[in-house]
Amino acid sequence: MSVKRTIVIDGDNVLRYGNRKKVDLNLLLKVIENLTKKGLDLITLVSAKTRYYVEDSQHFEDLLTQGTIIEIPAKTENDLYILEIAKKFQARILSNDLFREYFNRYPKTVKNRLPFMILRNQLIIPSL
């Protein structure tokens, strides 16, 4: 039996893809659905502030309750949690964030980042 590969999703990065002013929960859900269909184990992280920017707050709260999305503790450095969790679970990170300021501390984890784009409603990840 093979072990599932784990992907840590930088939820805030996905939520703001293509438009830094608006948060798109449906976009994040499509990414989660796409990667789940590929048989990947997902850890989707969002900042504590995200709840205040999501239009469908009840759906967002439901996703938190179900564990589909995990909230990073308030008043902490989100990137550190993303990198540390990815390191701990030997996971790759789906994010367009370069994590430059953390390269010396997490060189392998940062190098294994999965940049992505969404084109015509399709998730594109060349290195996956």
Q: Which pLDDT belongs to residue 61?
A: 96
Asked if residues 105 and 98 have their Cβ atoms less than 8 Å apart, the reply is no
Which pLDDT value is given to residue 23? 86
What does the pLDDT read at residue 3? 61
Full-model pTM? 0.94
> What pLDDT is recorded for position 128?
83
Tens-level pLDDT at each residue, the chain (128 residues): 456 799 999 999 999 998 767 788 999 999 999 999 999 999 999 999 999 999 899 999 999 999 999 999 999 999 999 999 999 999 999 999 999 999 999 999 999 999 999 988 889 999 88
Do residues 32 and 42 make contact, with C-beta atoms less than 8 angstroms apart?
yes
pLDDT of residue 108: 95
Q: Are 96 and 85 in contact (CB under 8 A)?
A: no
Contact between residue 79 and residue 99 where contact means Cβ atoms under 8 Å apart = yes
Q: Which two tokens stand for residue 125?
A: 């990840």
DSSP secondary structure string for all residues of 42-103: EEEEE-GGGGGT-S-HHHHHHHHHHTSSEEPPTTS-HHHHHHHHHHHTT-EEE-S---GGGT
Strand partners, 45: 10, 70
pLDDT at 20: 66
pLDDT at 1: 47
Distance between CA atoms of residues 48 and 76, nearest Å: 9
Please report the domains of the chain, with CATH numbers, ordered by start residue: 6-124 (3.40.50.11980)
